Amino acid sequence: MSGTVWHRPASLADALALKAELGDDALAIAGGTYLGVLLSTGLIDPPEALIALGGIAELRGLEVDGDVLRIGALETHRAVERSVAVRQGGFEALADTFALVANVRIRSVATVGGVLADADYASDPPAMLCALGAVVVLASSRGERRLSIEQLILGHYETAIEHDELLVRVEIPRPERAAYLKFRSRGSEDRPCVGVAVVRRAGLRVVIGAASDRPQVFPELCALADGRELTPELCDEIAGGYAERLEALDDLRGSAGYRRRVTRTLVRRGLEAIA
Amino acid sequence: MNERVTGAIRYSQDVERPNMLHAKIVRSLAAHAQITRIELPGGIPEGCVLITAADVADCRPYGCLVPDTPVLAETARYVGDPIAAVAAPDPRLAERLARAVAVEWSDLPAATDLEAALAADAPVVHDVCEVASRRGAWSGMRPIDGTNVSHRSRLIHGRGEAGFDEADVVVEGEWTTASAQHAPMEPHACLAEWAGGRLTVWTGTQTPFNLRRELATAFGLAEADVRVIAPPMGGSFGAKTFTRIEAIAAALARAAQRPVKLVLARDELFLTLNRHPTRSRVRLGATRDGRFVARRVWSWWDTGAYADTGPNVAAKGAWAAVGPYRFDHVEIDADCVYTNRPSNGAFRGYAATQAAWASEQCVDMLAERLAIDPLELRLQNVLRDGDRFATGELMHDFHVAECLEAVAREIEWDRSRAGVGLCALMKGMQTPSRAGARIELADGRLTVHAATAEIGQGPTTVLPKLAAEALGADPRLVTLAEIDTDVTPFDTRTTSSRSTHMMAGALGEAAEALRRALADELEAAPGDLRFTADGGIEIVGTPASRRPLASLPALSGEGEHVIEGGLDPDSGQGIASAHWHQGAGAVRVAVDRETGVVEIVGLAAAVYAGRVVDASRAALQNDGSVVMGIGSALYESIEFSDGQVTNANMGDYQVPAFRDVPAFAATLHELPGAEIHGLGETALPLVPAATGNALRALGLAQSHLPIHPERVLDALDRSGA
C-alpha cells in the first residue's frame, strides 16, 4: 500500500544501473503523456518505482551528421517540429509528421523515445520513422543494440525493449523525397485513423500506421516502383495492393473496411505528393 | 471573468476545511449485479473510512423526479455505479485504498442499451411503478408496468394520428443520436461537513435548492438542516445539476465525523451524467402545396440506470419534436427508458438537439418529396405571433421566421444551395418557475443575493447590472454574493436559459422594495429618490438631502418572480414555456468524396434575444453554443461495450478544438424594449440538424448523430456517386 518511489538519475549510466537492478518493477517516464493516462485511468497499477529521465543530458540532442539525423530519446515532438537543423537538413517531412500529433500542449512534453517505446498503434511518428528506415538505439548496462522500427514494435504496446534497456536515440538516414499523410476521421486533434508515410530514396517505401497493432509495409508492392516513374496508373496499382493486403482493426475512428478504403486513397495521394 | 484567466477564482475543489479527508468512489465493474461482499484486504488504515450500502442503510433513495437513486448501491445498475467509498487524509492514499477494495458480486441480466431495454423480455432495471409511487416522486409520472419505461410523455393536438387522412403526402424516417459528455473543464467537486446535526455542502451546482431537498430526503433531515454553498463552476452545461456526488461525500463525512472532499477524475465524469441517446420515428403529413397537416412522433430516451431528470427531458422532447410550426394534428409519444448505463440528464440544448436532428430532417424529406424550397416550406408553416402551438398556447414575441431569413441571407441561400442545410427551432424554459432575489445595502455597498449559479455565463456581471438598472444606481456599487441556501432566497435553478429572464423580474421587485425601505429611511416618496454618481442618495431637486450610502443603516429589499404553467402529462396541453428561445441555423458542408470527411465550410446561426442585458457575454455564450454544436454534429459520441464506457478520456472522446471551428456568423437578434429571452443554448441544436440537412441536400442523408465519415462514405456508395 506504499506509494511509488521516484528516481531521478542524473546520468544514463545511473539510469541503466537502476533499470538493471529494478527491471520491470521500475517504469521509465519522460513526458508522461502515455504513462500519465494509463495511471490516472487505472489501466495499470502504480509501479513500485518510476525512473524520471528528464535530468539525463545524454538523452538529448537533435543533430544532422552527414546523411543521418540523430534525435535523443528525450527530445520532444515540439522540438523536432521546430528544429531548424531537422527542417533544413532534409528532414522536413519528419518535422511535419511530429507537428501533426495532438496539440501543442501534448507536443511540448511528449518525447520521441516515448512515442516509440509506448508502441501505441494510433500514433503518427512510428510509421514515418519506419518508412524513413530509422534505427533505434537501445542501451543497457550490457551494452547497446540497434533495431529497425519493424524489429522494435512487436504489437499492441509491445516492443523488443528488454527489461533492463532504455531507448536512448533514433538515427534516421536522409530521404530523397518523403511525405506523411495523417487521416483523421474526427477532430483536428484526434489520433490518426490511418497514417500513410511514403519515402523515396533508392527505392520506394510506403508504411501504413494506425491501421493495426504495428506499422505495415509491403516490400513487394513498393518494389513495383523500382526504376519506374510514379505514374498515376502505378500509384493506383500500389495503392490498390496496399488496401487489399492491409491488416486493419475496428475502433471508434473507423472500421477495418473503412480503414482499407481510405488507405487506398491516402497511398495514392501520398505517392502523387512525392511523384 | 478576469479571475478565471488569472486563476484567482476559487472553485469548490479549492475549498478546504480543517482535518478534512479526501474521498474516492469504488465503482461497480458489472452492468447489473447484486453486490455480495466488499472489503479492504488488510483492513482499513487508522484515520481512514470505508463505507458501503450497509453503512447508509438508514438513508432513503433520492432523485429530482423519481426517488430511485441510493447513496451507495447494493444492486449495482451500471458499470461505474458507486457501490462503496473511501476517505483518507491524503487523496493518493484514498485512491490506492479504493483500488485495493475487493468486491464480490453475482451478475444479473443487464439491458445495456435502448434496444435491449425495450425488448419484450428485457431485464428490468427498476420496478417502474414501485419507484414512481414512492413518496416525493413527480405526480406526472406515467410508468409502463413491467417494462423499463419510467415515463411516457404524451402530446395530442387536433385529431392526433387520425389527422393524417387530411394529408396528401406523408414522409417518415427514423433517426438516432449517441450519448454525449458535457466535458466541462472543471470536474465535479464537493466538500461535505456535519456539525450539530446540520449538513453543509460546498459544491459546484446549478441546482442548489434541488440539491438541498434531495440531501434532506436522503439523510432524513429537515431542509433547513441542509446548507448548500455553491462556489462558481468551471463549466457545467447541465452536468452539475441535482445530486451528483454530494450524498456520497456527506455519507463519508458522517461516518468519518470529519469534513470530506470528493473530486472526480476525468473518466468519472463519463460515469456520472451524460446526454440521452435517443431513437425517434417521425412522420409528417402535408397538403400538396406544402401546408403542414399532421405530425406523429415516437421517441425513446435512454435515461440510464437512474431517471434523474429524464422524464422531464422526454416531456420536453415530446413538444420539441413538433418544431416551431403550425399543425392541425399532432400526436407524440416520448418514452423515458431505464437502461443499465450511467444516468443521462440535463445537457445544454435539453432535448432540442435530439428532437431537431430528427424532426428538421423530416421537414427536408417533405421539401424534397414536394419539390418545394426548404426555406419556403419552413416560412410557409412557421409559427407567428397569434398562432397556437400544439400545446394550445398562444405564441407571442415570436421571430423564428426572421431568424430563418437572416441565416438564409448569411449563407447565400439564393446563390447556391449545394450542400446547404437549414434548421429552425424553438426551445422552452423551465415552467413553472420561481426566482427570488434580495438586494442589501450595508456599509455603502449593494449586494445581490440570488441563486443564479456562476458557470461562466456571467451572472456576477449581469445580475448586479440588472439590479443597478432597476435601482438607478451605478453597477460598480453592486456585487453578487456567493450562493448559500441559508442566506440566498429560493430560486428554482440555473437551467434552461431561464436565469436572466427570471431574475430581471425578481430583481425589479427587490429594487422597488429596497427603494421603499430607503424612502422610509429618508422620509421621502420612493419615486423621488436618486442614486448619485459618488455613491450617495438624494431626494430629487433637493441636493442638500444627499446622504452617503455608507451613512445609512443596513437595509434590504426582496423580490420574487413567479411563472405559472406546465403541461398536462396525459395530453401535453397547457403552458410549455413562458417565453420561447428561438433560432435558425444554416450550414454549408464540403465532403471529401473519397473518405467521407465532412467539413463545415459555412455556418450561420441566428438567435432571437429580445432585450440584451450584456452584449459581449450574450454574444460569447451564443458563440460557445455554436462551437458545442459542431462537436455534437461531427465528433461527440460516448462509446460502450457491454455497458462499459470505452472512451472515457479527452483523447478518445473528441470535443472540437480551435482548428475544428470554421469562421461562422452567430448573431443575436435584439429587440430593444422586448422581454429578455434566454439565449445560452439555442444555437447548439441548430448545428447538427442543419448539418444533417446539408448532407441530405447532397443526397447523403444521415440517420445517426454524430455524423461519422464512414457512414457518409456508405451514403456515397448508395448514391452511386
pLDDT, tens digit (0-9, with 9 covering 90-100), for A140-190? 999 999 999 999 999 999 999 999 999 999 999 999 999 999 999 999 999
Residue A2 clears pLDDT 80, i.e. is over it? no
Q: For residue B405, what pLDDT is reported?
A: 98
Other CB atoms within a 10 A radius of the CB of residue A76 amount to 20
Beta strands in B108-188, from DSSP E residues, in sequence order? 149-157, 169-177
Q: Under an 8 A CB cutoff, do A187 and B660 touch?
A: yes
Q: Under an 8 A CB cutoff, do B654 and A189 touch?
A: yes
Q: For residue A43, what pLDDT is reported?
A: 85
Average pLDDT over residues A242-266: 98
Residues of B in contact with A183 (CB under 8 A): 595
Nearest CB partner across the interface for A187, out of B267, B594, B635: B635
Residue B457, helix vs strand vs coil: coil
Please give the Cα distance from B188 to B185 (Å, whole number): 10
Torsion A108-A112-A118-A121 (CA) sign? positive
Torsion B461-B463-B466-B472 (CA) sign? negative
Asked if A207 and A216 touch (Cβ cutoff 8 Å), the reply is: yes
**Residue B543: partners with Cβ closer than 8 Å, 6 or more residues away:** none
Average pLDDT over residues A45-59: 96
Place of cell 443520436: B177
Q: For residue B472, what pLDDT is reported?
A: 95
Residue B721 clears pLDDT 80, i.e. is over it? no
Q: Residue A1 — very low, low, confident or very high, per pLDDT cuts 50/70/90?
A: very low
Backbone angles phi, psi at A210, to 5 degrees: 70, 0
Residue B42 clears pLDDT 60, i.e. is over it? yes
Residues of A in contact with B597 (CB under 8 A): 185
According to the 3-state scheme, what is the secondary structure of A102-151? CCHHHHCCCEHHHHHHHCCCCCCHHHHHHHCCCEEEEEECCEEEEEEHHH
CA distance A38 to chain B (A): 11
Q: Under an 8 A CB cutoff, do A1 and B654 touch?
A: no
Beta strands in B564-672, from DSSP E residues, in sequence order? 566-567, 574-575, 580-591, 598-610, 640-641, 644-645, 665-670
The number of angstroms, rounded, from the C-alpha of B227 to the middle of its chain's C-alpha atoms is: 23
| Type of residue at B444 | G
Average pLDDT over residues B680-692: 97
Q: Residue B214 — very low, low, confident or very high, per pLDDT cuts 50/70/90?
A: very high
The number of angstroms, rounded, from the C-alpha of B493 to the middle of its chain's C-alpha atoms is: 11
| Residues of chain B with a CB closer than 8 angstroms to some CB in chain A | 42, 45, 92-93, 96-97, 99-100, 265-267, 594-595, 597, 631, 634-635, 637, 639, 646-649, 651-652, 654-660, 708-710, 713
**Residue A157: partners with Cβ closer than 8 Å, 6 or more residues away:** A118, A119, A120
Condensed to tens digits (0 to 9), the pLDDT of residues B151-169 reads 999 999 999 999 999 999 9
Residues of B in contact with A265 (CB under 8 A): 594-595
Q: Under an 8 A CB cutoff, do B710 and A41 touch?
A: no
Residue B692 clears pLDDT 50, i.e. is over it? yes
Please give the Cα distance from B139 to B660 (Å, whole number): 45
CA distance A222 to chain B (A): 23
- Whether A212 and chain B come into contact, CB under 8 Å, resolves to no
Q: For residue B241, what pLDDT is reported?
A: 98
Residues of A in contact with B710 (CB under 8 A): 185, 254-255, 258
CA distance A48 to chain B (A): 13
Residue A66 clears pLDDT 90, i.e. is over it? yes
Q: Which helix or strand (DSSP H or E) is residue B417 part of?
A: none
pTM of full prediction above 0.80: yes
Mean pLDDT score of chain A: 96
What ipTM goes with this model? 0.94
Other CB atoms within a 10 A radius of the CB of residue B397 amount to 14
CA distance A78 to chain B (A): 18
Residue B490 clears pLDDT 50, i.e. is over it? yes
Please give the Cα distance from A238 to A218 (Å, whole number): 10
Q: Under an 8 A CB cutoff, do A37 and B651 touch?
A: yes
- Whether A19 and chain B come into contact, CB under 8 Å, resolves to no
Residue A3 clears pLDDT 90, i.e. is over it? no
Question: Is residue B432 reached through a cis peptide bond, with omega within 30 degrees of 0 on the bond before it?
Answer: yes
Residue B108 clears pLDDT 60, i.e. is over it? yes
Average pLDDT over residues B56-73: 98
Q: Residue B696 — very low, low, confident or very high, per pLDDT cuts 50/70/90?
A: very high
In the sheet that holds B102-107, the strands lie side by side as: B75-76, B33-39, B102-107
Residue B534 clears pLDDT 90, i.e. is over it? no
Helices A256-274 and A232-245 pack at an angle, to 10 degrees, of 150
Q: For residue B139, what pLDDT is reported?
A: 94
Q: How many helices (H) and strands (E) does chain B have?
A: 16, 32
Q: Under an 8 A CB cutoff, do B654 and A186 touch?
A: yes
C-alpha separations of B305 from B32, B66, B272, B709 in Å:
9, 12, 11, 31
Residues of B in contact with A102 (CB under 8 A): 651
Asked if B214 and B319 touch (Cβ cutoff 8 Å), the reply is: no
DSSP state of B145: T
C-alpha separations of A193 from A255, B545, B589 in Å:
9, 75, 21
Strand-pair category, A26-29 with A135-140:
unpaired
Residue B672 clears pLDDT 90, i.e. is over it? no
Tell me the three cell numbers of residue B608: 432571437
Nearest to B688 by CA among B354, B393, B276: B354
Return the half-sphere exposure (C-beta side, CA atoms, 13 A cut-off) of residue B467.
Answer: 32
- Whether A220 and chain B come into contact, CB under 8 Å, resolves to no
Q: For residue B1, what pLDDT is reported?
A: 54
Condensed to tens digits (0 to 9), the pLDDT of residues A94-120 reads 999 999 999 999 999 999 999 999 999
- Whether A255 and chain B come into contact, CB under 8 Å, resolves to yes
Residues of A in contact with B652 (CB under 8 A): 252
Average pLDDT over residues B644-659: 95
Residue A41 clears pLDDT 90, i.e. is over it? no
Average pLDDT over residues B355-379: 98
Nearest to A206 by CA among A121, A263, A252: A263
- Whether A157 and chain B come into contact, CB under 8 Å, resolves to no
DSSP state of B431: S
Mean pLDDT score of chain B: 96
Condensed to tens digits (0 to 9), the pLDDT of residues B536-570 reads 999 999 989 999 999 999 999 999 999 999 999 99
Q: Under an 8 A CB cutoff, do A186 and B635 touch?
A: yes
Nearest CB partner across the interface for B710, out of A41, A191, A254: A254
| Residue of chain A minimizing CA distance to B706 | A186
Q: For residue B374, what pLDDT is reported?
A: 98
Nearest to B421 by CA among B610, B633, B117: B633
In this structure, chain A runs to a length of: 275
Residues of B in contact with A103 (CB under 8 A): 657
For an interface test with A, give the residue of B92, B591, B595, B650 to mutate (most A CBs within 10 A).
B595
Asked if B342 and B270 touch (Cβ cutoff 8 Å), the reply is: yes
Residues of A in contact with B97 (CB under 8 A): 1
